[in-house]
Amino acid sequence: MTFAAQILTLYPEMFPGPLGQSLAGRALSEGRWSCDTVQIRDFATDKHRSVDDTPAGGGAGMVLKPDVVAAAVDHALARQPDAPILAMTPRGRPLTQERVRALAAGPGVTILCGRFEGFDERLFEARPVEPVSIGDYVLSGGETAAIVLLDACIRLLPGVMGAASSGDEESFESGLLEYPHYTRPVEWEGRTIPEVLRSGDHAKIAAWRKQRAEEDTRLRRPDLWERHSGARDQSPSGAQ
């Protein structure tokens, strides 16, 4: 099955962009995912093909017109009725690995890319559009956010990473950051690879990795650690 990505944007030439390279690029040419763009401006109705207007209540910048964006969304919905529609916005719910996994298991995704000050809020009431943020910072447009979201989904599609790497151990899959990695040379600038990783003792290596994943998560991401240890304390097996 092909994972169908449909991107609503004012800059269709930005796609597939970096997703045409490497792992995602190979998956695209193998037909594991498809990339279609819809030019939002094609749904403008005035002679200037306007897509934005000044913010109600005053202030800087411009806001994407709800009628134009909704017409583009309706077009996308008719083409791909089963795919969820995600609007990229810093005001959205933060994207998580769990959400990415769920999206990658589905038929595809329609992504709405904002520009200027973003979307008219009524769009979210009038259409089944889910606001999604890729982090607590502000980009100039939703296209790069869409590329991030798609990249995260595409690598999880069947056959993309190969059997050897399912991604199961990676950061966030178990609620923790992944353990740290090392490779040759064994000694570099006076620093050596931890002895345990060279011991060949798989049980000891697994225990070390678990401990480092927990320690690094606690120090670097107390928010994740709190959630993880809260969930662990509530599980039937207790603090395991």
Nearer of residues 14 and 197 to ligand SAM, judged by Cβ: 14
Nearer of residues 90 and 108 to ligand SAM, judged by Cβ: 90
Nearer of residues 16 and 114 to ligand SAM, judged by Cβ: 114
Question: What's the chain's length in residues?
Answer: 240
Select from 4, 7, 28, 145 the one that contacts ligand SAM (CB under 6 A).
145
Query: What is the total count of residues that contact ligand SAM (CB under 6 A)?
Result: 19
Q: Does 138 bind ligand SAM (CB under 6 A)?
A: yes
Q: Which residues of 3-31 are buried (b: 16+ CB within 10 A; e: fewer)?
A: bbbbbbbbbbebbbbebeeeebeebbeee
Pair 132, 95: CB distance under 8 Å: yes
Question: Smallest distance from the beta carbon of 112 to ligand SAM, in angstroms?
Answer: 8
Query: Distance between CA atoms of 98 and 78, rounded to whole angstroms?
Result: 27
Residues 99-118 that bind ligand SAM (CB under 6 A): 113-115, 117-118
Q: Does 60 bind ligand SAM (CB under 6 A)?
A: no
Q: Provide CB contacts within 8 A for 197, sequence distance 6+.
A: 182, 205, 208
Q: Write out the two tokens for 198.
A: 């060279």
Q: Does 86 bind ligand SAM (CB under 6 A)?
A: no
Q: Write out the two tokens for 100.
A: 């990415």
Q: Does 66 bind ligand SAM (CB under 6 A)?
A: no
Residues in contact with ligand SAM by CB under 6 A are: 88-91, 113-115, 117-118, 133-135, 137-142, 145
